Structure 1
């Protein structure tokens, strides 16, 4: 036999305060209509990413020749542009902050162009970091202005 007698439990006192009706759940994942691209019904970004994936796969099968490296590079660029498009539209509309991704784009582009131009690696890295820092600060300031968050 248990030592607690279940029939002698105290009952909770009912509150006389009015109950607040439950709020409808907020849907955070729903994107506002203003984020749709100008070419909205046409799946341009998805086709760009698909073409990038195909180019990457074809480039991986032809690694020995120059055409395979070009296909691989083209695939990486197309896939990156597909993600960059969505990131830019969401960031500039004030929907989600993509500051790091968007700041990395000009930094990587600067590093690639300066490396192809023949700049020494000792100069490429500080230049890339400076471009990244400037872009990060500018994009963060823009994001705060769009969302109304104080600095």
Structure 2
């Protein structure tokens, strides 16, 4: 006898309900309602990023001059401000934790200020890491608090 004998098929159950209970739907993170910035109708962040991109491109063409390096630094700073704005809004709304990104900002700023004061590297690195750690812990606690408290 063949194993594919059609007369030996198993009878299907007549019930239309599934045999296994359905899984609960997966939780989909929805973005929180946008909290309007004080400059709301004006696209300040988008213009900042656009000017940053233009400064980076111009700075790349003027590589031999001091002005080119200044334009590069200005472009990177303006572009970073656009990302920082989005990260801050999402983090403090409880949507996503951006604690690592946000903690890097004061750490790098502290390292730059100490570096401009001509401090040795063995002082800069531990101070920068300490500022990063304190900022990370504080930002993570804020985000966890926002997760517990419904908006």
| TM-score, with length taken from structure 2 | 0.85
What does residue 113 of structure 1 align with? 113
Gap runs ≥5 in structure 2: none
| Mapped pair 1:78 → 2:87 | no
- 8 A Cα contact 1:35 1:90, kept in partner: no
| TM-score, with length taken from structure 1 | 0.85
- 8 A Cα contact 1:107 1:128, kept in partner: yes
What does residue 97 of structure 2 align with? 97
Aligned equivalents of 2:122, 2:22: Cα separation in 1: 63
Give the 3 Å change call, closer, same or farther, for CA 113–120 of structure 1 in structure 2. Answer: same
Q: What CA deviation, in whole Å up to 9, does each residue of 1:109-145 have, x standing for no partner?
A: 1111111111101100000000000000000111111
What does residue 31 of structure 1 align with? 31
What does residue 123 of structure 1 align with? 123
- 8 A Cα contact 2:90 2:97, kept in partner: yes
Q: How many pairs are equivalent?
A: 148
Deviation at 1:7, TM superposition (A): 3.6
RMSD: 2.8
Give the 3 Å change call, closer, same or farther, for CA 25–114 of structure 1 in structure 2. Answer: same
- 8 A Cα contact 1:59 1:71, kept in partner: yes
Gap runs ≥5 in structure 1: none
